[in-house]
Amino acid sequence: MLSPEDNALLTRVGPGTPMGRFMREYWVPALLSTELPEPGCDPVRVLLLGERLIAFRDRQGRVGLMPHHCPHRGASLFYGRNEGDGLRCVYHGWKFAVDGRCLDMPNEPPESDFKHKLKARAYPTVEKAGIVWAYLGPRPTPPPLPELEALTLPEGEVQPVVSQTACNWLQAMEGSIDTSHAGFLHMGAIAPEEVTPDTFLYWMVKDRAPRYEVVDTEYGVMYGAWRPAKPGYNYWRIANFLFPFFTQMPEGVLGSHLFLGARVPMDDEHTLYFTLARRRRRQTGVLERQAIEGESPKYPMVKNPQLPNGTGWYDRFRTVASAENDYQIDRALQRSGESYTGIPTLPAQDQAVTESMGPIYDRSQEHLAVSDVAVIRVRRRLLQALRAYLEEGKTPPGLDHPEVYRVRSGSVLLPEGADWIAATAAQRLVPAGDGR
């Protein structure tokens, strides 16, 4: 459990809050590049860390991101004219470049030099892996992007996907570092006898109570959850939490699996879940993958249908399944045993349980168990780093050392008694300069 004070410390992310200041030190995924499909396209409302921003692409293809209030008298720049070299407020015609420079003040007399003295607040942006990343922090020169493997690969090799969750970022993220829930929420209807023996899925559903090892790292926290496998071996699922909100889940074969998640707060009660996964599997084929990982017709669908994006602050990447329709739960299917939850897709299952906790769950009401050891460690690591930042002025972890993010997650078989950290180093660590 967390005290109400610590819970508020970790969950509140608006401007000026402790966690809001901490997160702003890092590069933050803001929107997909495809949301600004061409130079001069329509501006987009972006709600990020409690700030209402407007994104636009100028005729050179550069992305601007600035507060939606025009610095003149506060009219929203969402209604502005994208004129190629800048965004012009329609109230009085003031025009701003992507870096915030005022290019034109047509309602001022010709002899006025006020436009040269005014600069709108504009946040640096960079596009990588199909995502527009923004730096909202205080440094005049932003830190380097983290060297996450998904960001080192050639453009087009990874697929970005986004969905919105109507709850706080922390409870959404904690689901990604809670490996034991997969054996119930997602695979509870799968019996061992229905799965090909000696596969990852078989060992998971045969033993739904893994044992845990958790360690602090330079980038955050790494955990391994193991179960008995074939004689003389254990099945390990190794995953990572990376500051400030990244996760790497343990699906797939360690060393070839690539999946990165980022639970990015829109505000205190809404979260965008950015994911990056490789477009092409590194396994040689479907049959080989099935022989290693296993499969079941009862495994839930992964794709989660979405509503078309609108123009409102909360109208991006909303899912069809929602609290309003009980996440499309099928009680007859649940009773039949063909589905553990009756909720049709894996993301909707996660969404249902995390949103059902409320916008911000009161963690002082929890009763944590041994299976929550990774969640407990991540919370502790966040609090320690946040307090060191606030009280001692320490640089947030990983910020100036992007190379520490060159790690992988995934599943692997190890001999009983093996040192799981040393034995997996070659598969877990991404070599410098590896841009496969």
- Evaluate if residue 280 carries a pLDDT over 70: no
Q: Is residue 287 part of a domain?
A: yes
Mean pLDDT of 136-156: 95
Is residue 191 in a domain? yes
Read off the pLDDT band of 287 (50, 70, 90). low
How far apart are alpha carbons 164 and 31 in whole angstroms?
12
User: 68 and 166: one domain?
Assistant: no
Same domain, 254 and 381: yes
CA distance 137 to 139: 6
At 283, is the pLDDT very low, low, confident or very high (cuts 50, 70, 90)? very low
Percent of the chain topping pLDDT 90: 89
Both structure tokens of 277: 């996964």
pLDDT value for 223: 97
pLDDT in tens, 148-182: 999 999 988 999 999 999 999 999 999 999 999 99
Same domain, 124 and 172: no
| Of 147-151, 241-245, 253-257, minimum mean pLDDT range | 253-257
> Rounded distance, CA 49 to CA 71, Å?
20
Percent of the chain with pLDDT over 70: 97
Structure confidence at residue 282 (pLDDT)? 47
pLDDT of residue 286: 58
Cα separation of 428 and 426, whole Å?
A: 6
For residues 86 and 213, state if they share a domain: no
Shared-domain flag, residues 86 and 165: no
The pair of structure tokens assigned to 400 is 């100036």
pLDDT at 284: 46
Q: Across residues 93-116, what is the average pLDDT?
A: 94
Say yes or no to pLDDT of 319 above 90: yes
Same domain, 111 and 206: no
Q: Which pLDDT does position 25 carry in this prediction?
A: 98
**What pLDDT band is residue 183 in, cutting at 50, 70 and 90?**
very high
- Identify the weakest region by mean pLDDT among 26-30, 139-143, 279-283, 297-301: 279-283
**Which domain covers residue 394, as residue numbers?**
149-428
Q: Mark which of 102, 135, 168 sits at the end of a domain.
A: 135
Average pLDDT, the chain: 94
Query: For the segment 11-21, what is each residue's pLDDT rounded down to a tens digit?
Result: 999 999 999 99
Say if 95 falls within a structural domain: yes
pLDDT band at 288 (very low <50, low <70, confident <90, very high): low
Q: Is the pLDDT of residue 126 over 80?
A: yes
pLDDT reading at 317 higher than 50: yes
Q: Is the pLDDT of residue 123 over 70?
A: yes
Task: Tell me the CATH number at 157.
Answer: 3.90.380.10
DSSP 8-state assignment for residue 142: P
Residue 283 is assigned to a structural domain of this protein: yes
Distance from CA of residue 395 to its chain's centroid?
22
pLDDT beyond 90 at 299: no
Tokens of 422: 């040393």
CATH number, residue 96: 2.102.10.10
Mean pLDDT of 264-291: 80
User: CA-CA distance, 172 to 355, in Å (whole number)?
Assistant: 8
Mean pLDDT confidence for 229-237:
97
Residue 277 lies in a domain: yes
For the residues 345-373, what does the mean pLDDT come to? 96
Q: What is the pLDDT of residue 278?
A: 87
pLDDT at 420 > cutoff 70? yes
- Which ranges of 80-218 would DSSP assign to H, the alpha helix? 149-152, 169-176, 200-206
Tell me, yes or no, whether 88 and 159 share the same domain: no
Shared domain check, 191 and 48: no
The structural domain count of the chain equals 2
